[in-house]
Amino acid sequence: MNNICIIPARGGSKRIPRKNIKNFFGKPMLAYPIQTAINSGLFSKVLVSTDDAEIAQVAKKYGAEVPFIRPKELADDFAGTAPVITHALNYLAKAGENYTNLSYIYPCTPLITAENLQAAYSAWQESQAEGCMIVCEFPSAPQRSLLINSENRIESLYPENRAVRTQDLPTTYYDAGQFYFAKVAAYIKGLAMHSNRTFPYILPRHLAQDIDTPADWQQAELIYKAMHS
């Protein structure tokens, strides 16, 4: 299977310092996506792209390859995911390693499972789309979102939907921010994941937990504990 998995894990997290290798139920956070990717059996190589020597050491300990240290210009607060993934793919291509399909998994994703990866990959392959994004259904209709204005009063973000029943509005989804698939050739050419070239794989909301703040971390712990109790 000619697939590559890339996990981008930089060292400079601010709101939760060192969160990519912070202990989560006995293992560094980064261990979870690495082991899930390996256990899925989908990938010829699982690679971690990092600028941090300690993260690189942890990644290798749990079975990932770290063939390079990411350049500093791709590791600051403004570095996007696409340049980081493209850098890794170009590095591998120069070394004579070319892959058909790509998955990139974010490092703080302890709730994903090998079964979810396998199911999403299978559905994506059947769809024949160039990319696959993991999405979740919004818990409430965003078309009826509210704002609090400068006078501390409520305003409708979309006034035209103020009187529309939620059941009459189309179901909407958000990017779960966990993992993605793409054909490497399309990705290198600038595949936009938010486009009609991307297949949506729908994940239950409780499995999609951003971990950006200490409160997010605690929420993830509660969900993980419930899943594994």
How far apart (Å, rounded) are the C-alpha atoms in residues 72 and 30? 20
Residue 78 has pLDDT above 90, yes or no: no
What pLDDT sits at residue 15? 86
pTM score, whole prediction: 0.94
- The model's pLDDT over 144-202, given as tens digits with 9 standing for 90+, comes to 999 999 999 999 999 999 999 999 999 999 999 999 999 999 999 999 999 999 999 99
DSSP string over 153-191:
-EEESSGGGTTS-GGGSPP-EEEEEEEEEEEHHHHHTT-
DSSP string over 91-119:
HHHHTT---SEEEEE-SS-TT--HHHHHH
Residue 1 has pLDDT above 80, yes or no: no
**Residues whose CB is less than 8 angstroms from the CB of residue 133 and which lie 6 or more positions away in sequence, other chains included:** 175, 176, 180, 193, 194, 198, 199, 200, 201
Residue type at position 153:
R
Which residue, among 197, 136, 119, has the nearest Cα to 171 in the 3D structure? 136
Residue 14 has pLDDT above 90, yes or no: no
Count the neighbouring beta carbons within 10 Å of the beta carbon of residue 41.
10
Residue 36 near residue 79 (C-beta atoms within 8 A): no
DSSP single-letter state for residue 136: E
Residue 229 has pLDDT above 90, yes or no: no
Residue 124 has pLDDT above 80, yes or no: yes
Domains and CATH numbers, the chain: 3-134+174-228 (3.90.550.10)
How far apart (Å, rounded) are the C-alpha atoms in residues 223 and 24? 12
How far apart (Å, rounded) are the C-alpha atoms in residues 101 and 105? 13
Q: Are strands 154-156 and 146-148 parallel, antiparallel or unpaired?
A: antiparallel
What pLDDT sits at residue 204? 94
Share of the chain above pLDDT 90, in %: 94
What's the gap between Cα 12 and its chain centre?
18
What pLDDT sits at residue 77? 83
- The model's pLDDT over 82-117, given as tens digits with 9 standing for 90+, comes to 999 999 999 999 999 999 999 999 999 999 999 999
